[in-house]
Structure 1
């Protein structure tokens, strides 16, 4: 029996603790109510930027900004509750930020698809996703990902989070000649982002619980004191949802020219979620069974797919498992109580939206950089002496941040894995599913990209 389990067994249980224990089996997962609540709050404050990003981008596509803000909260609430009670996972689900650009600028603005029809495509892809997750096809997909690609996937998501953090804090800026370059590292935002990162490292190295959340709070308070963050008040009534509620055009989404859009939404959602969940399991082995598998992953994937169906009703793009869940898991979240906490905070965000808006991107940048450090450590498990395994891992790791897409990075990893194994004369080492997925991604890049 380890020290943590002994400590948990020695704790007195209140009525609430007993209830949560019955529902979420906290002790079996080596956790407690306090840890789970802190983890949920950590994930929420790390990902709550989606409330502003989603509403802002969707308003550019012609949707009502206030309604999308409310819809984003409701989708996150539904997704987190499904994860909590169906899968008992410490995982948050919300409208996928990775899909926002494709949905708003490629589908609606670029292709001229009405946003109502685009929401119909979200509904169909969500139904297909939920159905797939109920059958063995989900296991086939998961088992078709070689270990080297899983490790590269974890590292790639880490680099992606680091890139987002550095960009949001102004440490990296756009450059026409080199794509990105170093920004003003002595600006207030950059310095506060770096301070947040150093604080997280200090708290975690000293084993201070909730260090990630604590650093976010400290940096936000500093921003308020220095006058960089405007105080917007505490409470406000949520805007009306009626401009987007049940506005999806299902018949329009059933037209032949929408097939490619539906398939793209489906593929991106599946591989984003599978990739992120597997990366979490690889980074935190205690999330796996003794056989090395993620328990109840089918329920988790079903929860995400079902959430996309609700997203089409409320008025947001396809839902997704967030990479920011690493923040909550790193803070000790191991059960659905973490997801339940996140759902409550998103519900509160409906009434306390001014408070959520006051947490700036640079306040969460340090947390994202810290998670990137943890995720990059998995690359040590790559068999660097076997180039046919190392090279695809590097391709996956590099292309996720460079393409700003977990799905595209993983797809290029699959293709490179198959090609490298074939030209090296090791085609017998390629799983059948890996062949199929490499071909699917190749066709996606040719016809749907």
Structure 2
């Protein structure tokens, strides 16, 4: 009787029959999605740990944020879309904002928090549509590709496969060094499992590489003890005073940071939504995504909650497509994924024993997979090709997503003016370009 009542409630909540699915299929799809994105529990703490954040606390925050966001997404929008701290934005947080710009990680978390609030405001007022429609679609693809190269480059650097060189800026590292050799082994494992479509290939590869490192003495097993208190070291640690400049240290730089967090999250989310909902057959006859506002509202809320817990921007994961491929069609898939992240939270702090050489291969593979959208760019049209190339190239070469966005949008606007194809509908695009030009002038004068 209880089981039937439970099934009836799930049916009403998620309209399973209407979408041609059942509880068993949705649960299996949720597990599949979890396995394909669980690597973030190991990778995110290592990336944010490079910014000086406590690894154990970040690991717990990563699980909590992913659980909260995925469960909320499932119940609010009934969409099989799982969420977690986003790749790319975590690298920007750690390597650009904290390490390059010298902003404390507490202030950076404050920037994430504010970007989430702004996203909420844009969602409720409809301004987000204006932003989305003002930017050409091919630049979305270019940003995704540029972030992919950025992530891949970080992975190659962490592995010691690519090293600094005073003559050529970068060069090939010593592949016989323990770190590089271990990373190459991990890359082979992940790639081999991936081509055979093994679920959880990245997670398995990270764990196998770590074990290999332990066996051959490349990695020492010395996890720092942790407690519930250690897991909460990042909770409510954000510094809003630093964001608003009341301490007089960071000035206008935080405005740029907030814009990048907001911009990349917005367009990354839109791209993921289109990909996942299209594969699930959920896009309406008019080409619109059902419950789009609820999805975006969830995304913004998750970013706010994630920053309070102690992690970088939370966003939709394209790995959700794996769950859809396994039959997931409703929000129950996302809820199952979220519950699994919640269960993992109390063992996640052991991520501190995972070496960079083990997570670096996952970064390399994820970076490579993120290049797929580049095929959407019309490379034979200079109006598309030149801004797209500048976007793709400047993100990894300057270690800044903001610079890539600035060059791409500005180049697109200038080339439209030269060609004489600017229309009244481009007014917001021109404003963005002027703001970026002002940014370059300000950076040159600083």
Q: TM-score, normalised by structure 1?
A: 0.76
Q: Deviations over 1:221-245 (max 9, x none)?
A: 3223223333357985233577765
Pair 1:277 & 2:272 matched? no
Which residue of 2 is the match for residue 91 of structure 1? 83
Structure 1 residues 16 and 188: alpha-carbon distance in aligned structure 2, compared to 1, 3 A threshold: farther
Matched, 1:380 2:375: yes
**Shift, 1:147, TM fit:** 2.3
CA distance in 2, matches of 1:353, 1:328: 21
- Check the 8 A contact 1:103/1:317 in 2, yes or no: no
1:167 aligns with 2:157: yes
Partner of 1:7: none
The structure-2 alpha-carbon separation of the partners of 1:253 and 1:382, relative to structure 1 and needing over 3 Å to count, comes to closer
Report if the CA contact (8 A) 1:167-1:173 is conserved.
yes
The match for 2:198 is: 208
Q: Give the 3 Å change call, closer, same or farther, for CA 202–71 of structure 1 in structure 2.
A: closer
Q: Is the 8 A contact 1:80 1:93 kept in 2?
A: no
Structure 1 match to 2:33: 39
Residue 319 of structure 1: aligned partner: 313
Q: 1:161, 1:32 → 2: CA distance?
A: 31
1:264 matched to which residue of 2?
A: 256
- For the aligned residue pairs, the C-alpha RMSD in angstroms reads 4.1
Q: Secondary structure at the match of 1:239?
A: helix
CA contact (8 A) 2:37 2:200 kept: no
Partner of 2:386: 391
TM-score by length of 2: 0.77
How much does 1:141 deviate? 1.3
Instruction: Kindly state the Cα deviation for residue 356 of structure 1 after the two structures are TM-superposed.
Output: 1.9
Q: For the Cα contact (< 8 Å) 1:197–1:367, is it kept in 2?
A: yes
Tell me the CA shift for residue 171 of structure 1. Answer: 0.9
- Pairwise CA distance, 1:55: 4.7
Question: Partner of 2:183 in structure 1?
Answer: 193
For the structure 1 residues 293 and 164, does the alpha-carbon distance in structure 2 shift closer, same or farther, using more than 3 Å as the test?
A: farther
Q: Aligned partners of 1:70, 1:216: CA distance in 2, in Å? A: 18
- 2:125 corresponds in structure 1 to 135
Q: How does 1:392-431 map to 2 (within 5 A)?
A: 392-428=387-423, 431=426
Question: 1:330 Cα shift?
Answer: 5.2
Partner Cα separation in structure 1 for residue 333 and residue 395 of structure 2: 27
Q: Tell me: CA distance 1:369–1:54, structure 2 relative to 1, closer, same or farther (3 Å).
A: closer
Call closer, same or farther: CA 1:235–1:400 in 2, change over 3 Å. Answer: same
Aligned CA distance change for structure 1 residues 321 and 313 (closer, same or farther; 3 Å): closer
For residue 44 of structure 1, report the CA deviation from its aligned partner: 2.7
Counterpart-to-counterpart distance in 1, 2:191 and 2:20: 25
Task: Specify the SS of the correspondent of 1:181.
Answer: strand
d(CA) in 2 for partners of 1:190 and 1:33?
Answer: 38
Task: Give the CA deviation at 1:416.
Answer: 0.8
Aligned mates of 1:347, 1:363 — CA distance in 2: 24
Q: Deviations over 1:21-75 (max 9, x none)?
A: 765667849873223223223323235332244355245xxxx787666656555
Q: 1:303 aligns with which of 298, 302, 309?
A: 298
Contact 1:96 / 1:321 at 8 angstroms: preserved in 2? no
The answer for the alignment partner of 1:286 in structure 2 is 279
Q: Distance in 2 between matches of 1:208 and 1:243?
A: 36
Structure 1 residue 169, shift from structure 2 partner: 1.5
Rounded to whole Å, the distance in 1 between the matches of 2:389 and 2:16 is 37
- Please state how far the C-alpha of 1:262 moved relative to its aligned partner: 5.1
Residue 38 of structure 2 aligns to a residue in which SS?
helix
Stretch of structure 1 that moved more, 205-214 or 415-424 = 205-214
Give the aligned partner of residue 367 of structure 1.
362
What is the distance in 1 between the residues matched to 2:243 and 2:370? 38
Q: Which residue of 2 aligns with 1:149?
A: 139
Instruction: Mark the CA change 1:47 to 1:17 in structure 2 (over 3 Å): closer, same or farther.
Output: farther
Would the alpha carbon gap of residues 140 and 377 (structure 1) be closer, same or farther in structure 2, given more than 3 Å must change?
A: same
1:177 maps to 2:177: no
Looking at structure 1, the residues matched to 357 and 241 of structure 2 have their Cα atoms a distance apart, in angstroms, of 43
CA distance in 2, matches of 1:248, 1:199: 38
SS in 1 for 2:149: helix
Q: CA deviation at 1:183?
A: 1.0
Pairwise CA distance, 1:418: 0.8
Alignment CA distance shift 1:44-1:439 (3 Å): farther
How far did 1:146 drift? 0.9
Q: CA deviation at 1:429?
A: 9.6
* Secondary structure of 1:231 counterpart: coil
Deviation of 1:267 (Å) = 0.8
Cα 1:183/1:147, change in 2 over 3 Å? same
Instruction: Give distance in 1, aligned partners of 2:416 and 2:370.
Output: 26
Matches within 5 A, 1:56-95: 57-58=51-52, 74-87=64-77, 88=79, 89-93=81-85
* Secondary structure of the structure 2 residue equivalent to 1:49: helix
